[in-house]
Amino acid sequence: MIAWQNKKAHIIKFVDGQRRRMRLYVDACIIKKIMPSICFDQLLYNLVFRRHHYYDNSDRVITNSLLIEDAKTVICKDLAELDFIAPTKHGLFTTSKEYCKLNGLNRISYSRTIMQGLHYDEIKKWYDPNKSVSDNLGYAKQNGIKISLSTLRKYCLQNNINLNPNKVEISKWYNPNLSVKDNYNYAINNGIKVSISSIYTYCKKHGIKKNEGK
């Protein structure tokens, strides 16, 4: 962003904690809206330019791959999908007053909806639907992505994504002729995620005798 001091302009770069990834995505949307005929290479160049001049990327969080994905996503959007957005010097974006009035939308609530949609677009870039929410949360932490487990759960529920696609019901593999420990070892050896306490609870719930499932 540009700040003025003693009648001179100074560039103050966005730093960690100022939602740099989200800001760049919004930048891409605004650029496409300003120049509808822009091609992928031009949009990507603009994002690289903005990253270099307006964003502190000393931690290398804003990778080339991230910019490429942003450009790919935005370049495919119709202009109608960008009508909600208008540039602002104060925040990430502001919703268009005319658009909201024309469509009978409350600007505040609609801004929140759009913000959530933009956030979910960011999550979609790295979230692996073939892994559990916990595994994806672990990936996020390892890659410096700040997000909560509850946010990932909401993202999955709203996008019909299985919270734990690798979960296999105990009833489908449990062998009552083996002990709980042997069943637990079977599960671990076959990549089935389950706790030994869950197996005990299953046995109790289904009346499996202690000498058959301990």
Residue for token pair 């770069």? 13
Q: How many domains does the chain have?
A: 2
Residue 213 lies in a domain: no
What's the CA dihedral at 200, 152, 19, 48 to 10 degrees?
110
Would residue 147 count as lying in a domain? Answer: no
Strands 85-86 and 8-11: unpaired
The predicted model scores a pTM of 0.44
Q: Is position 97 within any domain?
A: yes
Q: Is residue 190 part of a domain?
A: yes
Confidence label for 67 from pLDDT (cuts 50, 70 and 90): very high
Residue with tokens 């042997």: 182
The residue range of the domain holding 66 is 2-126
Examine residue 214 and state whether it is found in any structural domain, yes or no.
no
Q: CB-based burial of residue 43 (10 Å sphere; 0-12 exposed, 13-18 middle, 19+ buried)?
A: buried
Is there a single domain that holds both residue 114 and residue 187?
no
CA pair distance 110, 116, nearest whole angstrom:
10
| pLDDT in the model for residue 89 | 47
Cβ distance 170 to 194 under 8 Å? yes
In a shared domain, residues 31 and 122: yes
Q: Is residue 80 part of a domain?
A: yes
Q: Are residues 92 and 198 in the same domain?
A: no
**What's the pLDDT score for residue 162?**
87
Residue 176 sits in the same domain as residue 89: no
